[in-house]
Chains A and B, each alone.
Chain A
Amino acid sequence: MALNRETSGGRWRIRPDGPAKVTGALTYLTDMSMSGMLHGRVLRSSHPYARIKSIDTSEAEALEGVHAVLTWRDVPGLNGYGIAVQDQPVLCRDYVRYVGDAVATVAADTPELADYALSLIEVDYDALAPVDDPEAALADGAPKLHPHGNVLHRAGYERGNIADGFEGCAHIVEETYITPRQMHAYMETEGGLFVPEPDGRLTVYAPTQHGLMDRLQLSRILDRPQASIRIVSSPIGGSFGGKDELNIQPYGALLALHTGRPVKIHNSRWESVRAGLKRHPMKIRMKTGIDADGRIMAHDVNIIADTGPYATLGAEVLNFAVEHVIGPYRYEHLYVSGVSVHTNNGMSGEFRGFGGNQAIFALEGQMDRLAYKAGIDPWEFRQRNRRRAEDPGPFGHPIAQTNGAEQVWRTLAESALYARRERLAYAASAPSSPPWIRKGIGAAFVMHGAGLGFGIPDPAGGRLRLAADGKIEALFGYEEFGQGLIATLELMLIEEFGFAPDDFRIVIGDTDRVPDSGSTTASRATSMMWQSLQRMRDPFRSALLKAAAAQLDRPAEELAIGEGGVREKSGEKRLLLAYQNLAAGSSEEIAVETNFIFPASDTKRIGAHLLYTYAAVAVEAEVNTLTGRVRVTDQFHAVAAGPVMNPQGYLGQIEGGSSMALGYALTEEAIMDEGRYVTRNFDTYLIPTIADSRGGFEVVPIEELPEGDPHGPRGVGEIGSVGLAPAIAEAVFQAVGTRISRLPIDPSELQKPTDALRKAVKDR
């Protein structure tokens, strides 16, 4: 059944954070200000690659109204950051390796003065030729960007014997897929407020996807205990992975501690583009062979990822891509090799889909090409080769089994949109009206891992307590960046416990208050909140009832928790003790906490997942052969991710993720030239507008899980952003017969003068 407001009934709720958002009353962290605050700015590198000969800050320091001009000399602790590897300098000392590298930071009375002070800092650079191509970076004799060279990480996987695998294949497809440097383009650029407190602590109000990780990273940089730093990190005006790594936090923190005054930083869009993460551009070469029955015999893959100057999660993204170029299919012989390469281009890093977007665009491209060569319907081709129930995961590792692959395959096959495909295929040879508009339908099949994978610390947990004022507090170390996490947790608390919305208070995004729940990434937060509540539900309920029983002098077995307080278990379920009174009458705090690890596969393969979400996406697109432009006119998404925890959030994740994939397929690319961004703002970086988003859209969630499945809801935060691009590529092929191997689609590849036009020109 399609997911929408009508089919969701009473579970379709107004989000708790909604009223403040639609009225503009919500204070984002970049909206904050304080009397006496200073304005921080960062001096970024003038060159993609250069040696720093000297930095002279004297003129800037002498300027009245400038309170701090800091360089590498002023970093008290570790002059480096990075979630996985701390190789990105906070402030560069000897080399700059990309145009976003920070060289100095300034605090001044006004933003204008801070900008002016930046212009007075003299950095003497010895500019070096930038390494702007990952293959050039791998060549012998290429300049080494780091002492260890230019390879951040290699990953691969092998099964069978690939050389033998191609022998006797009936058809072989070889293709090279190229994917763009996509920008997260969150509407709120990075920023925040940094406040030195009277007690010597530092409060950081700045968006992130993992407050406790920011606290750890800042404690290393500032050389102060984690306990002396408080990170307040929600609400957030969009992130999509882009604010997972530190961005402006080190500068705000250093400036605030140095001056003893609050400091505000709020990036301009250009600074955000220049310094921020992007999706890894990848070049994926695939050679895949099938036998006469259309079964895949051999799949040979090579991935080259441009990871930019520093690590962040580049290695983990490559691991994910290696897993997902294998995906939901069976192979006789398999060989995958991948390398993530340092260059002097922009920073690449974590971004919704996490390497799956690139991998699956290539993999699904192969499936469509092979099916065409073999003369098999492309969806039937996937059916022949897709994983079966009880098959191991892509690395041959144990996974939590569901029937997701089968379910989404069948649901798409039965969809009205896909049923139109045959008619369209018939019509493809017929004249269309107008003749320059051609229609096609394509589809893609997706299996996407959730959680950080085996071998990477992936903690989870939460806390429930009855606060002194009688509110039940649900505390989680997660962040709200728009996805609807607060709304989802609210619905879980209502449905799992029977609380009324007014009975509880949700506390997130404040390291002084929340337990370690791990990061709000990798489609993991909804799963982990649900699992935490499963673990805490009975103990917390028992603790509440035990305290109530003592106060009411009645056996706990006769009591139940419900709306407003403790109620009689049977009969009219009369309210006996309001939560407020229960709290007031309890001498001890009623609280439970759970800490566990995101379920991981029993394997030794780093990054291999246990939990997967499955999706099938069909799309109808129109190609205008005069302009070469592609318009998406209808979409169908089947998603198997277990029970829907929050209908509005689920639909919103698939719609919003799909919109990102639309941009990825058609218009989005942060173009660089010799290590410098050509694309600097939304005038040339084109994300979809409402005008690009008018087609039909249906999401069918498949909620059924195997009996006894202990894992509950799987994540849906990323999977919507993955399948649409390859489905569009196939729709374009169906429409005009042109194979797309590079994104975003270049309209000039699709422009074809019509007969009518040709005639018109000839007749003149």
Chain B
Amino acid sequence: MIEPSENTGAKQTLQCTLNGSPVEMDVQLSKRLLHILRDDLGLTGTKRSCEIGRCGACMVLVDGKPVNSCLTMAYQCEGKSITTIEGISGDGIDPIQQAFLAEGGYQCGYCTPGMVISVIALLHENASPSEDEISEALSGNLCRCTGYGGIIRAVKSAIATRKME
């Protein structure tokens, strides 16, 4: 019999930074970041899909590194800075997002927030990644619609645009 254990433990205070603003909330420390974001905070740009860290639809930045929020528990966020897709561009569009738009690097769009997060993390670390490095950095983000053609073109275009600036 399954005990309703995971999210019924005692709540404790979590302090972190979320999309640039300090956040203090009472949560069970084992609660997954994915569910905190989607269910408690209404930040539904972070998507739920495999919940075992294989598809990347739930990717967020934790201190600038891409992580699967489905594998991240609340206590691991203590004192960290978390950026979700909603925190990427404020009300505007980031040049990387613009590249996805221009090249058609999405279809249903469900994987796209996670994909954009991974590209942002990659280009932050490495302004001109090789094809191998692009492939490595994005191989944890599954897309079922595009066959990745538009995504690869979007990443290359974002790199080229950055170089010109």
Contact = CB atoms under 8 A, between A and B. Distances in A.
27 contacts: A12-B104, A15-B104, A18-B106, A19-B93, A21-B112, A22-B109, A23-B88, A23-B97, A25-B45, A26-B109, A30-B48, A33-B39, A110-B7, A119-B1, A184-B144, A235-B109, A238-B110, A482-B107, A482-B145, A484-B107, A652-B149, A681-B54, A682-B54, A687-B144, A690-B134, A690-B139, A691-B135
Chain A to chain B: the 10 pairs with minimum beta-carbon distance, closest first: A24-B45, A482-B108, A659-B147, A21-B109, A237-B110, A24-B85, A482-B107, A31-B44, A682-B54, A655-B147
A320 B53 CA distance: 38
Contacts of B134: 690
Contacts of B101: 14-15, 18-19, 22
A655 B109 contact: no
A49 interface: no
Nearest to A240: B144
A655 B144 CA distance: 11
A238 B151 CA distance: 17
A687 B142 contact: yes
A116 B108 contact: no
B147 A688 contact: yes
Nearest to B106: A21
Given A186-B144, A652-B150, A682-B54, A116 B4 contact: yes
Contacts of B7: 110, 112
B97 A113 contact: no
A690 B152 contact: yes
Given A268-B51, A652-B146, A22 B97 contact: yes
B109 A681 contact: no
A235 B51 CA distance: 22
A379 B113 CA distance: 43
Nearest to B88: A23
Contact of A690 (B3, B42, B116, B138): B138
Contact of B54 (A18, A652, A657, A683): A683
Contacts of B89: 23
Interface string A670-697: 0000000000011100011111011001
Given A22-B101, A655-B146, A681-B54, 20 more contacts: A5-B102, A14-B102, A18-B100, A18-B101, A18-B106, A21-B106, A25-B86, A28-B44, A110-B7, A116-B4, A187-B143, A188-B47, A235-B109, A269-B52, A652-B150, A656-B107, A656-B146, A683-B54, A693-B149, A697-B149
A266 B106 contact: no
A187 B113 CA distance: 12
A189 B49 contact: yes
A146 B6 CA distance: 41
Interface in A433-489: 481-484
Interface of A is mostly: loop
B55 A682 contact: yes
A200 to B, nearest CB: 29
Contacts of A697: 147, 149
B147 A658 contact: yes
A187 B114 CA distance: 11
A660 B142 CA distance: 12
A72 to B, nearest CB: 24
A324 B89 CA distance: 49
B50 interface: yes
**Highest count of chain A CB atoms <10 Å: which of B89, B106, B110, B113:** B110
B160 to A, nearest CB: 13
Contacts, number: 189
Interface string A1-27: 000010000001011011111111111
A5 B116 CA distance: 21
A244 to B, nearest CB: 15
A683 B52 contact: yes
**Highest count of chain A CB atoms <10 Å: which of B101, B111, B145:** B145
B108 to A, nearest CB: 3
Nearest to B49: A187
Contacts of B97: 22-23
A119 B5 CA distance: 13
Interface string B140-162: 01111111111111000000000
Nearest to B110: A237
Interface string A687-710: 111110110010000000000000
Interface string B43-70: 0111111111011010000000000000
Nearest to B131: A694
B142 A187 contact: yes
Contacts of A112: 4, 6-8
B103 interface: yes
B104 A690 contact: no
A209 interface: no
A20 B1 CA distance: 42
A325 interface: no
Nearest to A189: B49
A22 B147 contact: no
A236 B54 CA distance: 21
Contacts of B150: 648, 651-652, 655
B143 A655 contact: no
Contacts of B4: 112-113, 115-116
A116 B116 CA distance: 36
B164 interface: no
Contacts of B10: none
B81 interface: no
Contacts of A687: 142, 144
A648 B104 contact: yes
A691 B140 CA distance: 10
Contacts of B145: 238, 482, 652, 656
Given A18-B106, A115-B4, A23 B135 contact: no
Interface string B68-110: 0000000000000000111011000100010011111011111
Contacts of A31: 38, 44
A15 B153 CA distance: 16
